Structure 1
Amino acid sequence: MTGHIRGSAGSTGVGPAAACSPSLHAFARAWADAVAGTSQVTRTAAELTDLLYDLAGTLYEALCAVPFSAAAGRHVGRALVDAQLATPEALSRSIATLTQLPLPDCPPALPGLPEQPDLAERLAALQGAVAAGCMTALRERTQDEQESVQRAALSARIEAARALRTSEARFRTMFDEAALGIAIADPNGFVVEANRALAQMLGRPVESLRGRDLTVLLGLDPRESSGELDAVFASAGFNTLSSMSSMSSGDALFGPSAGFPGRPGLAGLAGLAGTPGAPGIPVPGPSVPPGFPAAPAPGSPVPPAAPFPPGEAAFPPGGAGAPGAAAGAGAPGRTGHSRVDRRLVRPDGVSLWVQLTLSVIRDERGEPLYRIAMLEDVTERHELHSRLLHQATHDPLTGLPNRSLLYGRLEKMFSEPRPGDRFGLCYLDLDAFKVVNDAAGHDVGDALLCEVAHRLTQRLAGPDRLVARMGGDEFVVLVEHTSGPQDAVEVARQAQDALSDPIEVAGQLMSITAGVGVIERPVEKAGPAEAVRAADITLYWAKAQGKGRLAVFDEERNARQVARYRLAGSMPEALRHGQFFVHYQPIVEFSERRAVCAEALVRWRHPELGVLGPGHFIGLAEDSGLIVELGRWVLEEACRQAVAWAHAAPDGHTPLVSVNLAARQCQDDRLPGQVERILAETGLPPDRLQLELTESAVMDDHGKPLRVLWELSSMGVRLSIDDFGTGYSNLSYLRSLPVNGLKLDRSFVHGLGAAGLATDPVELRIVAALVQLGRALGLTVTAEGVETELQARRLEELGCDLGQGYLFGPPSAPGPTGPVQL
């Protein structure tokens, strides 16, 4: 097996494992150190590292395989068994070490795949597959041993006539020294022989087991008869429990049966199969092997077995689990068998898990000759599986259920909904946890997370609740059987209250708060992924409000956000397909009441939503970075239009065109070159272009004018500060900026006599101050949002140069000879 893995993963040297060879070598050495000394096979450190390097490479390549399959994990598990590295201690160390397997950089998602694979989930699946592969190989090895016993018995039967004494000695040695506990009973079910291994498992002398009813010995109470129990016995050729006489419950040796959780028959072994005349098994006739009592004839009376002495049988009665595979029940010369896992509690209180195999051996006529029960101690295997299951479903740091267990609980809840049942999810995220990690270190951060987990569990855990850690500083509380949103909100407030007291970590008192997103809805209207996604979105809303805030899911708000997300996703395609267009609004000189400039304003002709104004999509473009490409397109369109107006004008005069620039465009060092190229291609003179920038856009991160502004100004392009007075105004730098004008925000103009409103004297004084400031700096002052004649007169009286607003004309398609005229 390992040779095949080495050839497939290491021969070409071009796969993901080859690309990560140094990391895999380091991981293989760590793995070898972890399992060193756990195998009876002697290997050098280099040999063990080479072996594990091949296995690590197989798992590493499986992480990015498309489609993903955990089969590689099973192959690795089998390889560990073949290499004698599958003792419980070695397997446990291997599974723990695999959590450190280097994660590859997978290629981008392929067509048809919605997103890149979750490597952590794949690694967990591979860990489980490794464990499953080991256990499967171990089970097959045990089955091979049992089959070997059967073959030996069948082979010895041929030699029984001439070598009966030799075969009896061979069987007696095998029977007495077998690691499996074995009991042989007569056709009526009374034990005629038991080996030392069985006596040790039961904690009793061999002599005390002979003559006992096999059903009593196994703790199978006919009063608890069921179809499953009858099937176990019937498949092995036994009488069904319902036909047996009752027994004393104090004689039971076994507790309730159970298969491994979620893995029926995982530890199952093949039953010991035999045929009449096998070594140590009497052949019908006068000759019976020495050391075995003669089997009573079918139907002959058998003296009842006395119960165990009072006070010694301290084992609770229980039923059998699901039957295993049956084979050949009732066929002459063949056996039937069935298997079940059961818990055994000995008189000394020690609890064991065993696998019970029931078989029957028949004579040539098909009549039961002997009944056999075999027990294998699978306690270590059961405990290993329990540990692995816990590791796969719980967070290793806090011990809380992890994402996998939470989704499993949700899947169960959604698959079995009760009418009218509701549930809630509270998604928590600690505020400023990164600051704790960066300032105090990850050890302190981990200790803080453990204390948070403890407080949440102490305060919130209950039969209808589950507290889980999603990863990082995120926790989720599942609340089942709620009566309405108030139940989930109350749990969220309890979670916040649990964190209200300062937490002492490493001698430091820390105050921690958490934002919480809450959803509550009917079970039948949700699914696991949708519910967690909705809670996560709501958490984002809560975090946006500040620290320690709580938000409840709102369907309408979510629908609006989904619509915005879809709108943002369609913008690149819209730009490529020419769905954007430009309208122009005139900027008028107050003294002459004539248009001297036109501002370019972009619009989107959406195929489904109609014409959208900039308020619907400019913010999305800025968030996505598309504003740079969109702004460049608007600039090109505006320059071409200005040149077209110049060609159509009788006097050939080129009007001034004004274009807005976003902050991200101003921070792009390529902007001056792009403007210069556009001016050259369109033929627009630089002094006929005005670029409008906000106050925040003209300063860099240190509060100084951006270098690109000076380059644009040196080209002759006019610069104007848009929405002046609404942002951060650094007046000491304002006088040194290479700008030509200021544009007062419409909020100031509104107070100068909007329709139906009187003039606000405070606003009047503010506007007067701003106008005087602009004039003092030698800048052209433009007021936007002018809608009434009263506002226009006030602004002209205050010395404002230009005005823009619906009084002079709305944004509209370009006219043939210029912007809209008065």
Structure 2
Amino acid sequence: MAEESRAQADAEREALVHRFAAFYDAAPIGVALTDRDGRIVDANPALAKMLGRQVDDLRGTPVTELAESAADAELIRAAFADLGTVRRPRVREPLDLASAEDDVPVRARLTIAGLPGSEREPVYPVLMFEDVSELDLLHETLRRQTVHDQLTGLPNAGSFVNRLEATLAGSADGEQIALVYLDIDGFKVVNDGLGPGAGDEMLRHVARKLRAVFTDHEAFLARLSGDGFAVLLRGNLTSTDVIDLVEEAMAELAEPIYLGGRGVGVSVSVGIVVREAAGQTQEDLHRAAEITLHRAKENGRAQWMLFEPELDRWDRRRYGIGAVIAGGLENGEFEIEYQPTVKLDGSNEIAVVNAALRWNHPEHGQLRPREFYPLADTTGMTLALGRWLLAASLRQAAGWRAEFGPAAPDLCLPLPNRLAIDSNLVGLVRDELKETGFPPGKMRLCADTRALLDPRGEALEALSVLSELDVQIAMVVTGAADLELINAQKLPVGFVVVSGPLVDAFADDEPDAAGARTHLATLLRRCRELGLHRVGAENVRGLEHARRLREVGIVAARGPVFGGPVTSAEVEALIRKNAG
């Protein structure tokens, strides 16, 4: 019975050895068995394949000779030393193994452990090599995608910020730093007109040109976002050095690029900041470069601008105002002011009051429309301001109408361009007239040719519909040519307001104003031919100015001669005075 049990145990051990041998041969990782001197006793097929060698060739080879470099060999040697003292598995950082088939080393991760042995050889070292070449390649690809722009191959915005912060931290005393921010002008036209493929090729083209130009001063280029690029320069440089490079880049980009056989011009707007690196922060430099770039774009594009402290302070104020328009509207900081338009027939009767917004800013005091409307266009708040002005002015005008009856003046609402082209203008006006009960015939909407000709809107159609609702339409003109739009489009204009040099020419009796006066006479004659007999003027400065305008046919005027803008309460006082 005992012999039978021993035979069964021996069979099980032999089967176990066979299973281990099969596992050893089939293991996907490379395994090498060594003696305690580090010579390979045996290796499995996976290790041989990994190294491009035969198993027989590996036997007897010192395991350190598998290493690609002396440092990697020392790593294996240290692992053996640790195994002899600690007697536990040791996982090493990746190391490079020499490949017999390829000049490129094999990136592997080593684990060394000791198999139990005999009294003579208490530990049999076993080394396991895991091929991590593809994994490392994946990690590198992911890392590059994280820090690089895939389209252009340039570092991305995150990399640029990191480099800028590192540069500032490591800068020497007196070292200069320069930021160059570039935006492609009209990129949306190319992207939308020729397709995203053309836009992508243009971005790659710009990246190549910038790489070719910005090679000195440790230049670091990046694509920030969309059509925006940035360059960081450092060292012994001046504003002139940077400007020369920028102008060279602009000249290189000016040569047409052919996209699908069509030549496309490339121009850029550029903001430049050059400062001593000491004491600067990444945030301040970024903001300065951004604002300088915006100024270049506002001034006509296709040009560079250099950061100037005085302009920067002004821009900070402007952008600070624009950023909080929504809050000002929510907090009740806006109110309406009115500019009276007075008849020039000697009665001094107020024919109409022109409504406009005034902002009582908690920090900057009283702000006029010209100080915040351009910023509202940028931030998308023009429509909200226009709607509020429409609703609030109609409520006030309805109150005057209820109290004073026919003595109350008409209400004129100059339409901000964004409101004039809004597709919902008719609905807005109709709803507010219904809500307030204000008579449509006592309301005037005033637009200029810029709004009427805007291709994005439907101002012409909207004004025609509002005219059918009995709303009066007024048009601001600066010359006789503007009247032809009325004639060509058959606009239902009832009032014409003359503005600009034609009016200013009558302020003083100067010989060089004769041409403008002749032009105004032509304009008034054309108005009569079109049946437009109610022609007013704005920015009338004095009584003599008003008299001269009345003599040539202007019937009403507004401006400094009749005082400045007034509040709703002051309008009520003027109505009472005129009625009395």
TM-score relative to the length of structure 1: 0.56
What CA distance in whole angstroms lies between the structure 2 residues aligned with 1:666 and 1:596?
26
In structure 1, give the amino acid aligned to 2:39: V
Aligned match of 2:97 in 339, 344, 354? 344
What CA distance in whole angstroms lies between the structure 2 residues aligned with 1:704 and 1:361?
86
Aligned match of 1:382 in 136, 144, 150? 136
- State the partner residue of 2:334: 580
In structure 1, give the amino acid aligned to 2:427: R
Residues 504, 564 of structure 1: alpha-carbon distance in 2 compared, 3 angstrom cutoff: closer
In structure 1, give the amino acid aligned to 2:109: Q
- State the partner residue of 2:534: 780
Q: Does 1:617 align with 2:372?
A: yes
Q: Are 2:155 and 2:223, in contact at CA under 8 Å, matched by a contact in 1?
A: yes
In structure 2, give the amino acid aligned to 1:616: E
In structure 2, give the amino acid aligned to 1:626: A
- State the partner residue of 2:233: 479
What CA distance in whole angstroms lies between the structure 2 residues aligned with 1:614 and 1:181?
80
CA shift at 1:757, angstroms? 7.5
Give the 3-state SS of the residue equivalent to 1:340 in structure 2: coil
Residues 762, 608 of structure 1: alpha-carbon distance in 2 compared, 3 angstrom cutoff: same
Give the 3-state SS of the residue equivalent to 1:730 in structure 2: helix
Give the 3-state SS of the residue equivalent to 1:752 in structure 2: coil
- State the partner residue of 1:606: 361
- State the partner residue of 2:4: none
Moved more, 744-753 or 434-443: 434-443
Q: Are 1:203 and 1:346, in contact at CA under 8 Å, matched by a contact in 2?
A: yes
What CA distance in whole angstroms lies between the structure 1 residues aligned with 2:33 and 2:306?
64
- State the partner residue of 2:269: 515
Counterparts of 1:184-203 in structure 2, within 5 Å, are 184-186=34-36, 189-191=37-39, 193-195=41-43, 197=45
What CA distance in whole angstroms lies between the structure 2 residues aligned with 1:489 and 1:378?
48
In structure 2, give the amino acid aligned to 1:811: P
Q: Are 2:223 and 2:230, in contact at CA under 8 Å, matched by a contact in 1?
A: yes
Q: Does 1:763 align with 2:516?
A: yes
CA shift at 1:654, angstroms? 3.7
Q: Are 1:586 and 1:819, in contact at CA under 8 Å, matched by a contact in 2?
A: no
Counterparts of 1:122-133 in structure 2, within 5 Å, are none
Aligned match of 2:387 in 604, 610, 629? 629
Q: Are 2:51 and 2:99, in contact at CA under 8 Å, matched by a contact in 1?
A: yes
Q: Does 1:597 align with 2:351?
A: yes
In structure 2, give the amino acid aligned to 1:628: G
Counterparts of 1:94-493 in structure 2, within 5 Å, are 179-186=29-36, 189-191=37-39, 193-195=41-43, 197=45, 218=67, 236=79, 238=81, 330=85, 334-346=87-99, 350=103, 351-359=105-113, 369-403=123-157, 405-407=159-161, 409-410=163-164, 412-413=166-167, 419-436=173-190, 442-443=196-197, 445-460=199-214, 464-470=218-224, 473-481=227-235, 483-493=237-247
CA shift at 1:765, angstroms? 2.9
Aligned match of 1:527 in 266, 276, 282? 282
Q: Which structure carries more helix by proportion?
A: 2
Q: Are 1:775 and 1:781, in contact at CA under 8 Å, matched by a contact in 2?
A: no
CA shift at 1:636, angstroms? 1.7
Q: Are 2:69 and 2:96, in contact at CA under 8 Å, matched by a contact in 1?
A: no
* Higher RCO (CA < 8 A, seq sep 6+): 2
Per-residue CA deviations over 1:182-203 (Å, capped at 9, x if unaligned) read 14232xx353624255566666
Give the 3-state SS of the residue equivalent to 1:343 in structure 2: strand
What CA distance in whole angstroms lies between the structure 1 residues aligned with 2:494 and 2:52?
100
Residues 734, 532 of structure 1: alpha-carbon distance in 2 compared, 3 angstrom cutoff: same
What CA distance in whole angstroms lies between the structure 2 residues aligned with 1:450 and 1:390?
17
Per-residue CA deviations over 1:42-63 (Å, capped at 9, x if unaligned) read xxxxxxxxxxxxxxxxxxxxxx
Counterparts of 1:612-691 in structure 2, within 5 Å, are 612-621=367-376, 623-624=380-381, 625-640=383-398, 642-643=400-401, 646=404, 653-667=407-421, 668-670=425-427, 673-674=430-431, 676-677=433-434, 681=437, 688-691=442-445
What CA distance in whole angstroms lies between the structure 2 residues aligned with 1:793 and 1:687?
29
What CA distance in whole angstroms lies between the structure 2 residues aligned with 1:711 and 1:441?
37
Q: Does 1:750 align with 2:518?
A: no
CA shift at 1:581, angstroms? 3.0
Which blocks of at least 5 consecutive residues in structure 2 are unaligned?
1-7
CA shift at 1:447, angstroms? 4.6
What CA distance in whole angstroms lies between the structure 1 residues aligned with 2:129 and 2:457?
81
In structure 1, give the amino acid aligned to 2:35: A
Aligned match of 1:494 in 235, 248, 261? 248
Aligned match of 1:804 in 547, 558, 564? 558
Q: Are 1:335 and 1:361, in contact at CA under 8 Å, matched by a contact in 2?
A: no
What CA distance in whole angstroms lies between the structure 1 residues aligned with 2:555 and 2:259?
64
Give the 3-state SS of the residue equivalent to 2:110 in structure 1: strand
What CA distance in whole angstroms lies between the structure 2 residues aligned with 1:362 and 1:469?
58
In structure 2, give the amino acid aligned to 1:670: G
Residues 700, 435 of structure 1: alpha-carbon distance in 2 compared, 3 angstrom cutoff: closer
Aligned match of 2:544 in 767, 780, 790? 790
- State the partner residue of 2:5: none
Give the 3-state SS of the residue equivalent to 1:525 in structure 2: coil
In structure 2, give the amino acid aligned to 1:642: W
Per-residue CA deviations over 1:592-623 (Å, capped at 9, x if unaligned) read 25233352443222233222222223444565
Give the 3-state SS of the residue equivalent to 1:748 in structure 2: helix
Which blocks of at least 5 consecutive residues in structure 1 are unaligned?
1-158, 240-327
- Percent identity, aligned pairs only? 27
Q: Are 1:484 and 1:520, in contact at CA under 8 Å, matched by a contact in 2?
A: yes
In structure 2, give the amino acid aligned to 1:794: R
What CA distance in whole angstroms lies between the structure 1 residues aligned with 2:110 and 2:281?
44
Q: Give the total of aligned pairs.
A: 556
Superposed CA RMSD: 4.8
CA shift at 1:742, angstroms? 2.5
Q: Does 1:818 align with 2:577?
A: no
Q: Are 1:694 and 1:722, in contact at CA under 8 Å, matched by a contact in 2?
A: yes
What CA distance in whole angstroms lies between the structure 2 residues aligned with 1:564 and 1:523?
28
What CA distance in whole angstroms lies between the structure 1 residues aligned with 2:342 and 2:574?
13
What CA distance in whole angstroms lies between the structure 2 residues aligned with 1:467 and 1:655?
62
Residues 785, 544 of structure 1: alpha-carbon distance in 2 compared, 3 angstrom cutoff: closer
TM-score relative to the length of structure 2: 0.75
- State the partner residue of 1:47: none
Per-residue CA deviations over 1:137-173 (Å, capped at 9, x if unaligned) read xxxxxxxxxxxxxxxxxxxxxx999998877777666
Residues 820, 174 of structure 1: alpha-carbon distance in 2 compared, 3 angstrom cutoff: same
What CA distance in whole angstroms lies between the structure 2 residues aligned with 1:422 and 1:448?
32
CA shift at 1:341, angstroms? 1.7
Q: Which structure carries more strand by proportion?
A: 2
